[in-house]
């Protein structure tokens, strides 16, 4: 039986804070279109995405790992994801197999999910038990209870009164003395001898399109075993309140715009050893107090401190409602001129008239001023090493991340104007001021509008953020010697298309792959070959260049030779590119690829002039003038390179380098079509004269006048052949492809359901109509290809079939039927067999084989489903022409509307 193995997955993150990283092992999860992508952020081999989880039918909009109790150091094995259609999925990783599966689907929201959060209940010794919070654009929050071997239970629906919740964050409320002893009021005690598991109260912070930060709280509860190990009876410290019911307890003012991100931390847990004092954190905070950070579109970050407070019964006299009591308990202290104003809030959890109610205080701790645009992500650093102290990481639309740390001060005062410092509020408990200790970001002007998220990687030694263009930016902290300042170095991170992938093609010898998509870019994917830590050879695939960054969605590419290609987009112009000298050197150094050309006579690099769309070639002297330093003033850690960096790095380029420093010079523009281009094919010289290179193109068409194939000779830079093009079709030609030795045949398929074959003429080296298959399919024909010997060709259609045609009789040989529309097809020969791959509209890839000596009898050997292939329409398939070490293994590249490019090794033994 055939098997398949994923070699490489290239995918971009969605344009939102849709990512999370679990600190114990550094596993990064992020949303990529409909998929959940999993990546090892701490992998020594920089492998990138190793798996994707399929199940959602809408773009992912929210994602979080479930929180684990502080006493449980093992990684969370639950992941909560939400999508644009309102569906929430709960995933579980199985401890033995490490495989992920959908544990539950939470439905009920009618609009896009905007945020999710979780809180763990218990230490996990009695099975999984936690709460899941889901927020939606339908202006509601739902609270779900998840238990082992039980269906998810919807315990509450919170109406946010027309305000859309944008962010959720949870924490246990600060423990009071009665909680730490497990004491309950007499009215709620049960005369049972069963063991009791104590659940402290939970705080839910909600940032929304309201400028106020809402705090919801649930009462303290306990779980008493009454029979079966997984059977519990819940009671609360307030007998009249249902467990896990949240009431709005506080509304905090301060921000002047929408609140987009939140993050809670308990610096010193209540169960921490006595040695864990506030001095180890270099911050004045009491045991079990809680800090909340909030980030807003007003560019500010605010810190809030939560702590237990005595119940103020005197101020509640005569009040008839809890909200009135809250208003009466608001305190404000005026400061001297020039100092900020502190406002402390006290709130009650439970019935204010009951002696068992609990009281807490919330005070503004600090205002952090440093970003110049929206704050889009916040994360407190995991407290892995006490000597690191408190650290807060923020990301912003100003294309930077800031690492905030507290610095002790002798007296609390307002610092001089400095956009990288904060204001510590007069009267706050802390005697520290928050400052920007490190900045991470970009210099390039093509920065794609900033960062999303702000994540800590493995053991808080790595920081990550995803950019507007979907690529990841990551830095790793270097271990500093005693007395030295710590430093951070950029590291290789995941990149990918953030639009539909329309084409994926191997270079003629199969050493690297080129892809093009609706994100207006072509990307070169190649291997990074080097020795590992123990001397073993390592090969991982990465994006090594971005030859074309265009102003139109790209539709098709084709290689003219190993170092030049032609592309077509939603414009009328065909563009030809040639690799710069730096790219040749880079491929030689990183991928150990040898080229006949040494690169010395090539331009060093290329750039795009202002207001231009063409990549301009620049030589070494031009590049030296334009080069900029890697590190600028102000200590901003960046991965930026100049638009024409002359150095060849010993690692794959970072995103900032890819944005401008890996362009290929554009050497020719070819004109002739009247509408947007659809397909391009190239006939390579293959030992013939250079003038034998030929380009065939097609464009969108609704009339016969434009439904033609046009031929171009790139060396001459002009159209050749019939002035009106090769006619025969009546609607858009969706695919053109050359086949046979020396490009003997030129095949075209069309929306008009027919195919046409043109034959090369020996005298003029051009093409003339030869055969036609009228109404060959019942629906549009999406793709076509020739067999390696050109004895047959294949057509894939929306009518859910692939047909095999003979080039000797021009009749149909065989029809392969499917349950879904066939959208892509590719054929190769290996190990004495012909191998056919068919991509379907649902994202599956079917692989068939047959003996070479037979012309029919294709046998399906493997189905590549969503666990290894795609979840949306497969748009392109291409077999690698380079033979594998295993004669029975073929390497297949694919592109899809799910925005991913994949390389899969398929073993074809049967």
Summarize pLDDT for 435-462 with one digit per residue, the tens. 999 999 865 545 457 899 999 998 888 9
pLDDT at site 278: 53
- Which residue has better confidence, 380 or 646? 380
Q: Across residues 598-627, what is the average pLDDT?
A: 73
pLDDT value at 5 more than 90 = yes
* Burial class (CB within 10 angstroms; exposed 0-12, middle 13-18, buried 19+) of 720: middle
pLDDT at site 316: 45
- The full DSSP string for 201-214 is -EEEEEEESSSSEE
Helix (H, G, I), strand (E, B) or coil at 525: strand
pLDDT band of residue 542 (cuts 50, 70, 90) is very high
Helix (H, G, I), strand (E, B) or coil at 758: strand
pLDDT value at 243 more than 90 = no
Q: Across residues 140-160, what is the average pLDDT?
A: 93
Pairing of strands 694-699, 564-569: unpaired
pLDDT value at 137 more than 80 = yes
pLDDT value at 629 more than 80 = no
pLDDT at site 438: 92
pLDDT value at 641 more than 60 = no
Q: Across residues 313-330, what is the average pLDDT?
A: 45
Supply the DSSP symbol for 96.
Answer: T
**Percentage, residues of the chain above pLDDT 90:** 61
pLDDT at site 77: 85
Pairing of strands 666-670, 636-638: unpaired
Q: Which residues pair with 503 in a beta bridge?
A: 516
* Rounded distance between C-alpha atoms, residue 120 and residue 103, angstroms: 17
User: For the ranges 292-306, 632-646, 680-694, which has the lowest average pLDDT?
Assistant: 632-646
Q: Tell me, which fold does domain 3-491 have in CATH?
A: Methylamine Dehydrogenase; Chain H (2.130.10)
pLDDT value at 879 more than 90 = yes
* Rounded distance between C-alpha atoms, residue 766 and residue 721, angstroms: 6
- How many CB atoms sit inside 10 A of residue 104's CB? 18
pLDDT value at 347 more than 70 = yes
pLDDT band of residue 632 (cuts 50, 70, 90) is very low
Question: What stretches of 187-317 adopt beta strand conformation (E)?
Answer: 196-199, 202-208, 213-217, 221-225, 232-236, 247-252, 259-265, 290-296, 300-308
Question: What stretches of 121-220 adopt beta strand conformation (E)?
Answer: 129-136, 140-147, 153-159, 165-172, 196-199, 202-208, 213-217
pLDDT value at 328 more than 70 = no
* Rounded distance between C-alpha atoms, residue 655 and residue 544, angstroms: 10
Segments making up each domain of the chain, as ranges = 3-491
pLDDT value at 145 more than 60 = yes
pLDDT at site 133: 97
pLDDT value at 644 more than 60 = no
pLDDT band of residue 427 (cuts 50, 70, 90) is very low
- Which residue has better confidence, 799 or 225? 799
pLDDT at site 827: 98
Average pLDDT taken over every residue of the chain:
84
pLDDT value at 491 more than 60 = yes
At 481, list the tokens: 């010697």
Summarize pLDDT for 504-532 with one digit per residue, the tens. 999 999 999 999 999 999 999 999 999 87
Please enumerate in sequence order all residues whose Cβ is within 8 A of that of 227, keeping only pairs 6 or more positions apart, or say none.
Answer: none
Torsion of CA 210, 215, 216, 222, to 10 degrees: 160
pLDDT band of residue 769 (cuts 50, 70, 90) is very high
CB 382 within 8 A of CB 390: no
Q: Across residues 758-775, what is the average pLDDT?
A: 91
pLDDT at site 649: 84
Summarize pLDDT for 468-480 with one digit per residue, the tens. 999 999 999 987 7
pLDDT at site 126: 64
* Rounded distance between C-alpha atoms, residue 238 and residue 354, angstroms: 8
pLDDT band of residue 184 (cuts 50, 70, 90) is very low
Summarize pLDDT for 352-410 with one digit per residue, the tens. 666 667 888 999 999 999 999 999 999 999 877 767 788 999 999 999 999 999 988 76
- Which residue has better confidence, 181 or 105? 105
- The full DSSP string for 815-879 is EEE-SS-EEEEEEEEETTEEEEEEEETTS-EEEEEEETT-SS--EEEEEE-TTTS-SS-EEEEEE
Which strands sit side by side in the sheet containing 513-517, from one edge to the other?
501-506, 513-517, 521-531, 537-549
**Cα–Cα separations (whole angstroms), residue 779 to 680, 773, 818, 897:** 22, 13, 14, 20
Kindly report the CA angle at 425 between 363 and 164, in degrees rounded to 5? 50
- How many CB atoms sit inside 10 A of residue 57's CB? 12
pLDDT value at 771 more than 50 = yes
Report which of 257, 242, 237 is spatially closest to residue 166, judged by C-alpha positions: 257
Kindly report the CA angle at 402 between 269 and 132, in degrees rounded to 5? 45
pLDDT value at 217 more than 50 = yes
- Which residue has better confidence, 271 or 768? 768
Q: Across residues 609-616, what is the average pLDDT?
A: 81
At 256, list the tokens: 């002047």
Sign for the CA dihedral angle at 382, 386, 391, 393 comes to: negative
- Which residue has better confidence, 97 or 57? 57
pLDDT at site 627: 47
The distance from CA 573 to its chain's CA centroid, rounded to whole angstroms, is: 32
pLDDT value at 576 more than 50 = yes
């Amino acid at each position: 039986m055939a098997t398949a193995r994923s070699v490489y997955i290239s995918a971009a993150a969605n344009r939102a804070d849709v990512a999370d990283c679990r600190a114990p092992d550094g596993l990064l999860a992020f949303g990529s279109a409909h998929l959940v992508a999993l990546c090892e952020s701490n992998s020594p081999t920089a492998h990138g995405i190793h798996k994707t989880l399929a199940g959602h039918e809408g773009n992912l909009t929210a994602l979080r790992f479930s929180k684990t109790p502080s006493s449980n150091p093992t990684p969370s094995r639950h992941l909560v994801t939400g999508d644009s259609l309102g569906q929430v999925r709960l995933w579980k990783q199985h401890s033995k197999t490490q495989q992920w599966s959908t544990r539950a689907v939470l439905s009920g929201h009618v609009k896009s999910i905007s945020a999710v959060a979780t809180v763990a209940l218990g230490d996990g010794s009695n099975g999984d038990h936690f709460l899941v919070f889901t927020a939606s654009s339908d202006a509601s929050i739902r609270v779900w209870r998840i238990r082992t071997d039980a269906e998810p239970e919807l315990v509450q629906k919170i109406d946010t009164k027309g305000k859309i919740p944008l962010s959720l964050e949870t924490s246990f409320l600060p423990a009071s003395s009665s909680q730490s002893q497990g004491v309950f009021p007499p009215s709620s005690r049960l005369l049972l001898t069963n063991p009791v598991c104590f659940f402290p109260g939970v705080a839910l912070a909600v940032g929304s399109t309201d400028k106020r930060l809402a705090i919801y709280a649930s009462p303290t509860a306990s779980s008493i075993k009454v029979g079966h190990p997984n059977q519990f009876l819940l009671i609360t410290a307030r007998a009249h309140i249902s467990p896990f019911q949240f009431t709005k307890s506080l509304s905090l003012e301060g921000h002047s715009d929408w609140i987009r991100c939140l993050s809670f931390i308990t610096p010193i847990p209540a169960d921490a050893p006595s040695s864990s004092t506030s001095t180890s954190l270099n911050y004045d905070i009491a045991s079990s107090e809680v800090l909340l950070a909030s980030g807003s579109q007003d560019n500010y970050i605010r810190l809030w401190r939560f702590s237990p407070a005595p119940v103020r019964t005197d101020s509640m006299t005569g009040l008839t409602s809890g909200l009135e009591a809250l208003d009466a308990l608001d305190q404000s202290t005026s400061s001297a001129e020039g100092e900020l104003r502190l406002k402390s809030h006290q709130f009650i959890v439970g019935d204010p008239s009951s002696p068992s109610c609990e009281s807490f205080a919330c005070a503004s701790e600090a205002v952090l001023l440093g970003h110049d645009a929206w704050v889009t992500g916040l994360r407190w650093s995991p407290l892995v090493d006490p000597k690191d102290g408190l650290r807060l990481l923020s990301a912003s639309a100003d294309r930077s991340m800031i690492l905030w740390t507290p610095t002790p001060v002798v007296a609390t005062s307002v610092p001089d104007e400095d956009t990288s410092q904060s204001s510590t509020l007069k009267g706050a408990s802390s005697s520290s001021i928050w400052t920007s200790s490190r900045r991470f970001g970009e210099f390039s002007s093509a920065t794609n509008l900033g960062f999303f998220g702000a994540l800590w990687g493995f053991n808080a030694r790595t920081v990550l953020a995803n950019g507007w263009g979907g690529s990841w930016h990551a830095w790793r902290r270097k271990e500093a010697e005693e007395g030295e300042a710590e430093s951070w170095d950029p590291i290789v991170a995941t990149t990918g298309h953030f639009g539909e992938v329309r084409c994926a093609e191997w270079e003629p010898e199969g050493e690297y792959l080129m892809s093009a998509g609706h994100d207006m870019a072509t990307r070169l994917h190649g291997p990074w070959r080097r020795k590992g830590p123990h001397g073993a050879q390592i090969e991982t695939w990465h994006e090594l260049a971005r030859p074309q960054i265009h102003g139109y969605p790209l539709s098709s590419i084709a290689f003219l030779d190993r170092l030049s290609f032609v592309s077509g987009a939603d414009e009328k112009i065909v563009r030809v590119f040639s690799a710069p000298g730096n790219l040749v050197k880079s491929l030689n150094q990183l991928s150990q690829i040898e080229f006949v050309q040494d690169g010395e006579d090539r331009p060093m690099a290329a750039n795009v002039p202002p207001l231009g769309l063409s990549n301009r070639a620049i030589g070494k002297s031009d590049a030296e003038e334009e080069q900029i330093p890697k590190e600028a003033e102000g200590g901003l850690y960046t991965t930026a390179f100049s638009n024409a960096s002359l150095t060849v790095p010993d690692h794959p380029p970072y995103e900032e380098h890819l944005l401008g420093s890996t362009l290929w010079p554009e050497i020719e523009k070819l004109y002739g079509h009247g509408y947007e281009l659809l397909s391009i094919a190239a006939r390579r010289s293959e030992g013939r004269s250079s003038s034998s290179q030929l380009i065939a193109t097609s464009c969108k068409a609704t009339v016969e006048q434009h439904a033609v194939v046009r031929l171009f000779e790139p060396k001459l830079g002009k159209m050749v052949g019939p002035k009106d093009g090769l006619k025969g079709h009546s609607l858009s030609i969706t695919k053109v492809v050359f086949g046979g030795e020396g490009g003997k045949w030129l095949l075209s398929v069309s929306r008009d359901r027919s195919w046409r074959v043109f034959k090369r003429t020996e005298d003029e080296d051009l093409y003339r109509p030869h055969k036609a298959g009228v109404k060959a399919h019942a629906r549009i024909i999406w793709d076509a290809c020739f067999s390696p010997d050109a004895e047959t060709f294949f057509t894939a259609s929306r009518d859910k079939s692939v047909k095999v045609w003979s080039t000797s009789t021009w009749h149909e040989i065989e029809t392969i039927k499917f349950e879904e529309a066939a959208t892509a097809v590719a054929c190769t020969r290996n190990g004495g067999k012909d191998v056919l791959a068919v991509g379907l509209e649902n994202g599956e890839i079917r692989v068939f084989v047959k003996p070479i000596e037979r012309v029919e009898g294709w046998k399906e050997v493997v189905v590549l489903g969503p666990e290894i292939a795609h979840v949306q329409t497969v748009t392109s398939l291409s077999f690698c022409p380079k033979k594998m070490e295993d004669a029975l293994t073929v390497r297949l590249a694919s592109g899809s509307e799910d925005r991913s490019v994949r390389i899969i090794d398929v073993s074809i033994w049967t």
